Chain A
């Protein structure tokens, strides 16, 4: 067993694995950040713009929510001529995640009582003031739990990029497994230790996020909402 651990966590392999994890985190942060903005725009359009923009937002959301992410990754990576596969794959992830974010934000917007809109209007607030000062702050508080679980999903979704040779965590661990088969006699123990480690790192990262989400929910519900 000790030999197996020595085979895998060498001074060369371990930094290689961790550099993959770092890319996973970077792609996740980029995706969450961008898709929050696009998602918010889509949600506002679908909810408050009854004409063309609202319809387009609805169509966008329904298309992306009812087709697999891997399909979009393949389409972007194989068909678009822009930068490298990593950028194109991340674009696919952003396009897909935006549709989910849009529905989460819309759920938050819909949970705000319509009386608040009327009250704001009666006080002379215009639409953007109402949104920025009254609706969005409350909406944010309410959607944090589902937002957190979507962030976890996004971190997991980055692993789909492995099949396009993008050097994130899962891809690097696959490469490592491949390279191990060349230099050591591969046993089932190697597979268990390596992928145990991969699963553990994903787990620790995501579980921490989910614990934070739960803490927030408890605090928030304790505030009487």
Chain B
């Protein structure tokens, strides 16, 4: 029998167990989607707060961003995984995954939102206020619709990083694609070759279109503004 890492019979095994990879893809998509939602909510709240003139609000958001950006995601997720049950909080592994990845990327999204809002001239906010808008109202109605154009490419890149980073849940048996792939290749006849190739292709097909769109959109935006 051909024992090469990419032998035909290994691919046959993978084909027989294809439902495992489909399940992994489903779970990765679900966790990514929910974590992205959480990251966007946190990111927009903190991003807006960081542009306010309130020093305490600014300080809290700064602390959050610095903490989550300067410590590893793997450590954060592992901490939630161990600390929450110790505190008597019962979360499913998947929920811990959504929480961990969402909180981590929330910090990055908040920086994108802050930069986007700051890119809009202050005069616009002042003009809106002079027309009787409250600050929050002016932000939502006047500033954010303009800033969203600038924020879209880096937000899309964050989504790509988020999808890739859900693979960290393989360390806590998160049930997503990386975990199931690792479990599959590590059992029985060790079909590393096909398993990693297929997982890689799935991740690539999820991430590359997003990264490509972000780049094209940004290039168009640049061409428009420099013309």
Contact = CB atoms under 8 A, between A and B. Distances in A.
B72 A68 contact: no
Given A67-B203, A191-B83, A156 B66 contact: no
A202 B71 contact: yes
Nearest to A156: B72
Given A66-B204, A156-B72, A191-B83, A203 B164 contact: no
Interface string B76-110: 10110011001100000000000000000000000
> Main secondary structure on chain A at its contact with chain B?
helix
B180 to A, nearest CB: 12
Contact of A66 (B82, B196, B208): B208
B86 A71 contact: no
Contacts of A210: 66, 69-70
Interface in B169-192: 170-171, 178, 181-182, 185-186, 190, 192
A177 B78 CA distance: 12
A118 to B, nearest CB: 19
A188 B83 contact: yes
B165 A170 contact: no
A62 interface: yes
B83 A192 contact: yes
A187 B86 contact: yes
Given A68-B165, A78-B192, A195-B79, A163 B204 contact: no
A179 to B, nearest CB: 15
B66 A63 contact: no
B41 interface: no
Contacts of A4: none
Given A68-B165, A163-B171, A206 B70 contact: yes
Chain B interface, >50% SS class: helix
What class of interface size applies to chain A in its complex with B? 35 or more
Residue of A63, A70, A199 contacting most chain B CB atoms (<10 Å): A70
Contacts, number: 115
Contacts of B185: 74, 78
Interface in A32-64: 62-63
B67 interface: yes
B73 interface: yes
B59 interface: no
Interface string A138-181: 00000000000000100111111011000000100010010000
A207 B66 contact: yes
A132 interface: no
Contacts of B178: 68, 70-71, 74
A199 B164 contact: no
B207 A67 contact: yes
Interface of A: 62-63, 65-71, 74-75, 78-79, 152, 155-160, 162-163, 170, 174, 177, 187-188, 191-192, 195, 198-199, 202-203, 206-207, 210
Given A66-B203, A195-B82, 19 more contacts: A65-B207, A66-B160, A68-B203, A71-B178, A78-B186, A79-B196, A156-B72, A158-B72, A159-B74, A163-B74, A177-B82, A191-B86, A192-B83, A199-B76, A199-B79, A202-B71, A206-B71, A210-B66, A210-B70
28 contacts: A65-B211, A66-B160, A66-B208, A67-B203, A67-B204, A68-B164, A68-B167, A68-B203, A71-B181, A74-B182, A155-B72, A157-B72, A159-B73, A188-B87, A191-B79, A192-B83, A195-B75, A199-B76, A199-B79, A202-B72, A203-B66, A203-B67, A203-B70, A203-B71, A206-B69, A206-B70, A210-B66, A210-B69
Interface of B: 5, 66-67, 69-76, 78-79, 82-83, 86-87, 160, 164-165, 167-168, 170-171, 178, 181-182, 185-186, 190, 192-193, 196, 199-200, 203-204, 207-208, 211
